[in-house]
Structure 1
């Protein structure tokens, strides 16, 4: 076989293919085409006001956003009394390492390092201004209206609108790690329990300040990565795990049980009461059961106009091929999708304070979860909530519990039915007394 230049090139590519190293961290990349190409999904992955980073930079429909970014970047530099040229030099001197944090196709439009460095400088400074100065009740401070501010909240959490956290660190300064991370958390709506004032005692007998302790935690890759970390964070997880264990002594534990995910109405009919957990972290889900009733605790969630976009981008992030994770967000949304299949399920969760509906009606919320479920299709990790599903199914199979629960809902679920029940009992008692008296007189 005569090898042509074309074949030589292809054989070389084939040989290099096995040498491609695995990324230690996921690179900033585009949403997978099989997610974006679905009907009505693309709008949730593309920015509507501003582009952050290289993927949507220069888009015609975002030219107003380019003006806003220059204004916000200039405001940041002025507020922090920073020199633009000095900060640009920081980015330019680290551009080789920063480029490694992007997928190759993402920065193809920036063959010139100078242009890429300038874009990261402007977008990074603008994003720092957003993180530190945005206030939902005072949009005028950013020279935008409320509607634009909501779009801004959506845009900065898009998978395709991320820049490396390392850029923000370079622009904010080496001594501001703790302040930067706190600004990110506050912007994302995270309010941790405040530690006691003063220094924190350590096992070594030394003391370290709150700021020193704060930036020792694992830093995020970008803003969306930090948002995911906050949703998964649960410092009380060890306390909850005792509620999640399956009772292996139960006779059903030896069976090969198929877990059937049931909606909220079915759970209620089986005597499983849904209640709110003590936190809003998605890991705070647990099930407990007694003789007659059981309890499923879920974290409180807010559903507003930004919720579908944020959730879909978190799902897309977990599905990035170079992101090694346990698919916690995908699994949680699939689990909630099984609970919410009808507007009445939404109504039930609203009534117990788990779901806060800011969309206007329950049917819209049910549609949101239908959309999220369709974006997941196959749950990559079925083990995360399998223990909860198993316990629910075990409870569900005890038909006598279901009968007691339905009887209770029929006769004791409202003051009217309770009064009617006691009235019927009183009528029977009076009838018995009258009959007994009549027999005695005979």
Structure 2
């Protein structure tokens, strides 16, 4: 994951998506506040001033004071604020007009200054394990971290770069951001592996905000080709055709999964759903990498048995609760998604092909699962099969017994 050093002096691109509210298509979600609204701290102008975040304002001011006193030499808060105020027109352009309209330049500059300093100092403390010595409680730390990756809570990355440039600890802050994103990457995918998908169409662009950095870290560099094979021979097949319903049916067909651990906890839903909301922003032209990934997982997970199998295979690490809760989460995240049809096409073709070839295995497994669920049903089924065998044997000897059948044949058929 690049930290943006090469774009340090580049202006905000006109093609870079503006910071905005979650698109209206997602706002009628019954769990909208749970997944998209801050829990402890508001960042930026969208949720600023709401009563429920008053305690968060206290933490932000404390972190801002620490940023100034610990990392800035011979300068006070007023001087730093004036630096940001001088850039306020450029910073205002990073947002959609409607979210900054209620604030004049001075008020908006103060919001961005305090929030930017607080975010940088929080990340630095998080990476260097300094919260205890600063008397900041663990619950506040956890909720603050979740709030950092909400679409409506993002700050322009160019703001963070400007503040870091005013600090004597610029390199430390840059390194902290890299490590912080990597840590949250690993919290989603244990081991730090990247998601597979189409990997095309994004094009290079400057970092927009922390949520954008997390998404880039998960997906890898834009333009990375991830298809493992040439699927030209399958072009005639419908890429949307899928006759299996979930992982249980794939398992019955003899298809197994390999370890590639996805961690599910309280932050999984908000992180993925806000990255999906980011991909759905009207001015963000992208390859829908996260959307396609969640859509693919949703095609495999329909019930708690699917989660159980993935958990046993160490594909899912469930620290959220019971398996049914995880299945519900993925089904909820997978609702009303429009993925890139090219993403995971090779994998989908392979799965469908193996599933089609596993028809006899599915029948055998389903037969035994139905007739041998318990020892008693198994004994009863074996007895029924034995009786059926005897009846078939008797019929065969009766119909096809040769004229020269010896006494043994006659006695055998009589005894049946």
Under TM normalisation by the shorter chain, which class is it? 0.7 to 0.9
Q: How far, CA to CA, are the matches of 2:350 and 2:231 in structure 1? A: 7
Structure 1 unaligned regions, length at least 5: 1-21, 193-216, 277-298, 411-442
Compute the displacement of 1:105 (Å).
0.5
**CA distance in 2 between partners of 1:23 and 1:254 (Å):** 40
1:269 aligns with 2:252: yes
CA contact under 8 A between 1:134 and 1:141: conserved in structure 2? no
* Counterpart in the other structure of 2:278: 317
Q: 1:185 Cα shift?
A: 2.5
Equivalence for 2:378: none
- Please point out which of 58, 64, 80 is paired with 2:71: 80
Q: Structure 1, residues 185-206: CA drift from partner, whole Å, max 9, x if none?
A: 31133499xxxxxxxxxxxxxx
Distance 1:191 1:341 in 2: 26
Once the two structures are TM-superposed, the CA of residue 87 in structure 1 deviates from its matched residue by 2.0
Corresponding position of 1:163: 155
Q: 2 CA distance for matches of 1:142 and 1:43?
A: 29
1:165-219 residue CA offsets vs partner (Å, 9 max, x unmatched): 1111111117977644432231133499xxxxxxxxxxxxxxxxxxxxxxxx964
Partner of 2:61: 70
**Distance in 2, Cα, partners of 1:137 & 1:172:** 20
Alpha carbons of structure 1 residues 178 and 329: separation in structure 2 relative to 1, 3 Å:
farther
Q: Greater relative contact order: 1 or 2 (C-alpha under 8 angstroms, separation 6 or more)? A: 2
**Deviation per CA, 1:131-162, whole angstroms, max 9, x where unpaired?**
11026976434533222222111111110001
Distance in 2 of aligned mates of 1:371 and 1:136: 35
> Which residue number in structure 1 is paired with residue 292 of structure 2?
331
Task: Report the CA distance shift for 1:269/1:71 in structure 2 as closer, same or farther (over 3 A).
Answer: same
Q: Contact 1:70 / 1:126 at 8 angstroms: preserved in 2?
A: yes
Q: TM-score, normalised to structure 2's length?
A: 0.73
Provide the residue aligned with 1:122 in structure 2. Answer: 114
Match of 1:149 among 122, 131, 141: 141
Corresponding residue SS for 1:183: helix
**Residue 38 of structure 2 is aligned to residue 61 of structure 1:** no
1:356 aligns with 2:317: yes
Q: Which of these residues, 220, 231, 234, is aligned with residue 233 of structure 1?
A: 220
| Rounded Cα–Cα distance in structure 2 between residues aligned with 1:262 and 1:102 | 42
* 1:28 counterpart = 2:22: no
On the 8 A contact 2:125/2:131 being kept in 1, the answer is: no
Q: State the match for 1:422 in structure 2.
A: none
Residues 1:90 and 2:90 aligned together: no
Partner Cα distance (1:172, 1:58) in 2: 26
State the distance in 2 between where 1:68 and 1:319 align.
Answer: 32
Per-residue CA distance 1:57-85 (angstroms, 9 max, x = gap): 11111011111100000011111034223
Answer yes or no: is the 8 Å Cα contact 2:94–2:156 preserved in 1.
yes
Q: Deviations over 1:324-372 (max 9, x none)?
A: 0011111100111111111111111111111111112111111111210
From the superposition, tell whether residues 181 and 399 of structure 1 become closer, same or farther in structure 2 (CA, over 3 Å): same
Query: What number of residue pairs does the alignment pair up?
Result: 338
Computing the radius of gyration from Cα coordinates, the structure with the larger value is 2
The 1-side partners of 2:108 and 2:268 are apart by: 31
Give the superposition deviation at 1:258. 5.1
Q: CA deviation at 1:92?
A: 1.5
Displacement of 1:401: 6.3
Q: 1:147 to 1:138 in 2, by over 3 A?
A: same
Change (3 A) 1:320 1:247: closer
TM-score in terms of structure 1 length: 0.69
- Displacement of 1:120: 1.1
CA deviation after TM superposition for structure 1 residue 254, in Å: 4.6
SS of equivalent to 1:189: helix
